[in-house]
Structure 1
Amino acid sequence: MPKSNLFSIILCVLVNTVVNSQITYPKSSPFAQIEQEIGLSKISIEYSRPAVRGRKVIGGLVPYGRIWRVGANESTKITINTDVEVKGNSLPKGTYALYAFPKREEWEIAFHTNITHWGDGRKNYNPAEDAFRIKVKPHVIPYHQENFLIAFDSITHNSFSLNLIWESTQITIPFNVDTHSQMELEIAKQIKENPTAQTYYESGRYLQEQGKDFERALVYLNKALELGGDTYYFHRVKSLVEAKLWDYKAAISSAKKSLKIVRELEKDEFVRMNEKNIEKWQVLLEK
């Protein structure tokens, strides 16, 4: 056998031995992925969770005045499937790297459009590629957070807070979502394509829950009753809308219809709710 072929074989054996000898081992900063629905939107975050392990973290392991990847290992990624607003800044749907620039009194948080950097991209990071930065103040928490934590909180249909928590420090980033515009499009689409009793009921209930356009909500609920017949929750939501329109006589009538049905169905909770509302609206009607 020619020496060149023998050398090639030996080299391949050595390379395969090295590759095959690699093992999967537990990471000191394990990967995490979280996902949250906000109204009709979905937000997901991928990050790694380093631990304090007795070290000074904020102002130490994470120095003041220098870029931080908001976690460990690869850069932290945030993905949104609809446009959102962050402290008055519009953030189009997509995926962004999340970076922080900690200071004692104030942090800057960057939503970065270049998601190819590994880690904090310190040498390749270009501020011109930020979608924008916001300023937030750190807060001291009354407990010890061992592993870095990113969490959703203060969730409504239209807003939420993203909390970055580690050691004894918390950063809160406020987000707003225009769920109402999305819902108006969804209502129009469903009424056009799927005009069932349930479609009209859910459209009216949404407006009632959001405290918007009670006149239109009443139209939808009447249509739901027309198509779907007597249903205790149709009558109940209709009574709530009529009360918001100060038509307490109609509200009492609708609540009594709901009450009759729930008594037959032995739904005690709805019996109590209807009775309470009837009593309250009767007082208001007599004033």
Structure 2
Amino acid sequence: MNHPKASPLAKIEQEVGLSKITIEYSRPSARGRTLFGNQPNGEPGLVPNGRIWRVGANESTKITFTSDVSINGQELKKGTYALYAFPEIEKWQIVFHKNTTHWGDGRAKYNEEEDALRINVVPVHKQDFQETFLISLDDIDHNGASMHLNWGTIQVAIPIAFDTKSIMQEQIDKNLSAAPNAQTYYEIARYYQEQGIKSKAALGFVNKAIEMGGDTYYFHRVRSLVLADLKSYDAAIKASKISIRLANKEGKDEFVRLNKNDISRWEALQPTNK
């Protein structure tokens, strides 16, 4: 017979750049209990200092990375790991463990030699009280995120980073060797421009996109941004005006506004206006 679980299962799937992080864990609630350290009477709380904790309840918490990753500056291969913690007052040890078969923390079966990675992090004491244990992924950009463990008044932050530039460059090289079309060249140019890298190469790619695919407001939009990155403001303004004309034809008023704002900014940066 099914019945409500005291610590219900949760699953997080988060894209980070070209990678994905998946976390499966059960969420216990405080329910008036002392969570970490000792109770007022000196007896251990729910998670005693120095004892292994499954970072949740029920089965061990599982975390999966689809790409090789850096955790707090240390390298970890892609794959699925059991996530454990050894909480202390002034620091926590966070463990990414290769054996994912243990129920809970494994206790006597836990073998430190099966750790894939162990790092130290500093817990932060907050004023807000988190009743139900929460794992979240925040501060997300193309290259990483911060994993937060929140329960009671304690928060632990674990920096996660991916080498998205290398992953993307592999895809770019593969696509360039396989009969690229105008859209391929455009997407490469846009990526380089968004990352602020390889501006000269980006200009060549967006020019190739226009040559193969014709004039579009978004091709010329990216071309204008790349030219501005190269400090060719006159040419950037001309490209932006073409983008405005083409965007107007398609009713893309948001691109008209973006281009006009950029033109105003670039006009102020032209040497003749200084």
* Structure 2: tracts of 5 or more residues without a match: 38-44
Tell me which of 96, 99, 112 is aligned to 1:114: 99
- The amino acid that maps onto 1:252 is I
| 3-state SS, counterpart of residue 100 of structure 1 | strand
| 3-state SS, counterpart of residue 148 of structure 2 | strand
- Which residue of 1 is the match for residue 12 of structure 2? 34
Tell me which of 83, 86, 93 is aligned to 1:101: 86
- Which residue of 2 is the match for residue 92 of structure 1? 77
C-alpha separation in 2, matches of 1:104 and 1:85: 25
Residue 237 of structure 2 is aligned to residue 259 of structure 1: no
Q: How many residues align?
A: 265
Residue 143 of structure 2 is aligned to residue 165 of structure 1: no
C-alpha separation in 2, matches of 1:110 and 1:152: 17
- Which residue of 1 is the match for residue 41 of structure 2? none
Q: Residues 31-83 of structure 1, C-alpha deviation per residue, up to 9 Å, x if partnerless?
A: 11111111111110111110111111122211111110100111111111110
- Which residue of 1 is the match for residue 230 of structure 2? 245
- Which residue of 2 is the match for residue 47 of structure 1? 25
- Which residue of 2 is the match for residue 228 of structure 1? 213
C-alpha separation in 1, matches of 2:114 and 2:257: 58
C-alpha separation in 2, matches of 1:44 and 1:179: 17
C-alpha separation in 2, matches of 1:159 and 1:117: 29
Tell me which of 175, 179, 182 is aligned to 2:160: 175
C-alpha separation in 1, matches of 2:56 and 2:161: 24
Shift of 1:283: 2.5
Tell me which of 59, 65, 69 is aligned to 2:54: 69
C-alpha separation in 2, matches of 1:280 and 1:85: 38
C-alpha separation in 2, matches of 1:63 and 1:121: 16
Q: 1:194 to 1:57 in 2, by over 3 A?
A: farther
C-alpha separation in 1, matches of 2:146 and 2:159: 5
Shift of 1:194: 4.5
Residue 132 of structure 2 is aligned to residue 147 of structure 1: yes
- Which residue of 2 is the match for residue 58 of structure 1? 36
In the superposition, the TM-score normalised over structure 2's length comes to 0.94
C-alpha separation in 1, matches of 2:162 and 2:247: 37
Instruction: Decide which structure has the larger Cα Rg and report it.
Output: 1
| 3-state SS, counterpart of residue 237 of structure 1 | helix
| 3-state SS, counterpart of residue 193 of structure 1 | coil
- The amino acid that maps onto 2:180 is P
Shift of 1:267: 2.2
* Structure 1: tracts of 5 or more residues without a match: 1-22
Q: Residues 190-216 of structure 1, C-alpha deviation per residue, up to 9 Å, x if partnerless?
A: 222241111111110000000111011
- The amino acid that maps onto 2:32 is G
Shift of 1:167: 1.0
Shift of 1:182: 0.7
Moved more, 99-108 or 136-145: 136-145
C-alpha separation in 1, matches of 2:94 and 2:252: 50
User: Larger strand proportion, structure 1 or 2?
Assistant: 2
In the superposition, the TM-score normalised over structure 1's length comes to 0.90
Shift of 1:224: 0.6
- The amino acid that maps onto 2:165 is H
C-alpha separation in 2, matches of 1:278 and 1:26: 59
- The amino acid that maps onto 1:53 is R
Shift of 1:266: 2.8
C-alpha separation in 1, matches of 2:95 and 2:19: 21
- Which residue of 1 is the match for residue 42 of structure 2? none
- The amino acid that maps onto 2:112 is P
